[in-house]
């Protein structure tokens, strides 16, 4: 079954889609998303087999504590709850806004070692790289036929990435970044994507592509579309600042990497920014630097920030840094030990990635076959 569609039909729809992307951050829309996400959490507990998650990272540097408390820990929890998870190492996205890839191979394996060290199980979670899955990337062609350039230029993801480059002319890959994201999500028919509240609009393009494919090309199975519309799973991720009190960023050098040893961690935290008030309190609005360290100690020790602050009292910044250092080094000691073992076993890392790539390729090729059938391009 196919659907005849005017090839110019989406041009008039551009403004509407742009409004949809923008409206996805409205208070009413966000409230609905929060409610639906809570419902999904309950449904996972009832039957995790109904869900498949796609998430991932760009290999632009070593992962740090912000990644761990922001996303990695949640991925492990989803895995433990029985949700099938696909984790993309987005190596092709590295060149979307850069002139070169840097030490890409080293960073890919570093990322893989971090994943395994924190508890991701390659028997339960599929870890793969963009560049190793030709069928996934081939989905870009039909997907690009479903969007227009003006729509892409208004996309929140493209705008954010464009601003991050300082406004220099966009590459074609950067402009089509949201469509590549859609291919990442839809190739394995993931129906859940963990995101923060501010990232919900970034998922909307994949939903638009899934719907438009169904409208333009139809279905292989009349009972369901080729691509299920993915839904956001809001994660209560902790937001940590860097040690200098600004946004945590690999490029700013204000992070504590997962692979750092205890002594290096202590040296980095010793230089962390605090303030002149010796009485330690948890007040993120008025004392962001101090509160950030309190939060880090709380996350690492499994306590509340208020309890940590009360324990330190008027001990000042020195006592706070001592508590944070001890909590972080104790929490990450087994993870770091495991990571060191993994980093020394390149053969095992290669095997894990090869298995993940093979699994992702198998699924991508099956999806591409469905796409060709729906487009009547099976010859």
What pLDDT score was predicted for residue 3? 36
What pLDDT score was predicted for residue 156? 86
Token pair 């390149």 is found at 346
| Sequence-separated (6 or more) residues with CB below 8 Å from residue 98 | none
Provide mean pLDDT across the span 224-229: 94
What's the burial of 119, exposed, middle or buried (CB within 10 Å: 0-12/13-18/19+)? middle
Domain extent listing, the chain? 9-239+346-374, 259-343
Is a pLDDT exceeding 50 seen at residue 119?
A: yes
Is a pLDDT exceeding 50 seen at residue 20?
A: no
| Sequence-separated (6 or more) residues with CB below 8 Å from residue 218 | 1, 2, 3, 374
Per-residue model confidence as pLDDT tens digits over 312-334: 999 999 999 999 999 999 999 99
> From the CB of residue 189, how many other CB atoms can be counted at a distance below 10 Å?
18
**In percent, how much of the chain has pLDDT > 90?**
73
At residue 356 the predicted structure's pLDDT band, cuts being 50, 70 and 90, is very high
CA distance 204 to 232: 9
Sheet of 84-89: strand order equals 125-129, 84-89, 52-57, 192-195, 231-234
**Which CATH number applies to 9-239+346-374: 1.10.150.120, 3.40.50.720, 3.40.50.620, 3.40.50.800?**
3.40.50.620
Per-residue model confidence as pLDDT tens digits over 251-277: 777 889 999 999 999 999 999 999 999
Please answer whether residues 151 and 329 qualify as being in contact, where contact means their C-beta atoms are separated by less than 8 angstroms: no
What pLDDT score was predicted for residue 29? 82
Mean pLDDT of the chain: 89
Please answer whether residues 273 and 299 qualify as being in contact, where contact means their C-beta atoms are separated by less than 8 angstroms: no
Indicate the CATH number for domain 259-343: 1.10.240.10
At residue 82 the predicted structure's pLDDT band, cuts being 50, 70 and 90, is very high
CA distance 40 to 207: 17
What's the burial of 203, exposed, middle or buried (CB within 10 Å: 0-12/13-18/19+)? buried
Is a pLDDT exceeding 70 seen at residue 69?
A: yes
Token pair 């074609």 is found at 172
| Sequence-separated (6 or more) residues with CB below 8 Å from residue 355 | 122
CA distance 276 to 331: 28
What pLDDT score was predicted for residue 166? 77
Is a pLDDT exceeding 90 seen at residue 81?
A: yes
At residue 163 the predicted structure's pLDDT band, cuts being 50, 70 and 90, is confident
At residue 52 the predicted structure's pLDDT band, cuts being 50, 70 and 90, is very high
């Amino acid at each position: 079954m196919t659907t005849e569609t005017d090839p110019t039909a989406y041009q008039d729809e551009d403004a509407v889609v742009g409004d949809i992307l923008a409206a996805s951050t409205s208070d009413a829309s966000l409230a609905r998303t929060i409610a639906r996400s809570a419902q999904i959490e309950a449904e996972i507990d009832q039957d995790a087999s109904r869900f498949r998650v796609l998430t991932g990272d760009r290999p632009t540097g070593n992962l740090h504590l912000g990644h761990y408390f922001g996303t990695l820990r949640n991925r492990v929890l989803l895995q433990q709850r029985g949700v099938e998870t696909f984790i993309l190492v987005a190596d092709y996205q590295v060149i979307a806004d850069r002139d070169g890839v840097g030490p890409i191979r080293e960073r890919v394996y570093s990322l893989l070692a971090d994943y395994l060290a924190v508890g991701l199980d390659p028997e339960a979670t599929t870890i793969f790289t963009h560049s190793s899955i030709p069928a996934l990337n081939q989905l870009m062609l039909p997907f690009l036929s479903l969007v227009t350039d003006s729509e892409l230029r208004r996309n929140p993801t493209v705008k954010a990435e464009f601003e991050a480059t300082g406004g220099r002319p966009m590459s074609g890959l950067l402009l089509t970044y949201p469509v590549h994201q859609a291919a990442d999500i839809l190739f394995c028919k993931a129906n859940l994507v963990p995101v923060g509240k501010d990232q919900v609009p970034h998922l909307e393009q994949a939903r638009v592509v899934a719907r438009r494919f169904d409208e333009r090309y139809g279905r292989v199975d009349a009972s369901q579309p080729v691509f299920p519309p993915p839904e956001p799973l809001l994660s209560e991720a902790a937001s940590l600042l860097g040690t200098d009190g600004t946004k945590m960023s690999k490029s700013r050098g204000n992070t504590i990497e997962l692979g750092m040893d205890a002594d290096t961690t202590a040296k980095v935290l010793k230089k962390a920014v605090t303030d002149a008030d010796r009485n330690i309190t948890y007040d993120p609005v008025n004392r962001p630097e101090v509160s950030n360290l309190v939060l880090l100690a709380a996350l690492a020790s499994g306590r509340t920030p208020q309890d940590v602050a009360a324990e330190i009292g008027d001990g000042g910044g020195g006592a706070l840094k001592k508590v944070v250092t001890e909590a972080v080094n104790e929490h990450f000691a087994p993870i770091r030990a495991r990571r060191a073992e993994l980093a020394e076993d390149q053969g095992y890392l290669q095997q894990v990635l090869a298995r993940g790539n093979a699994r992702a390729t198998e699924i991508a090729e099956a999806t591409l076959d469905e796409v060709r059938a729906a487009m009547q391009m099976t010859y």
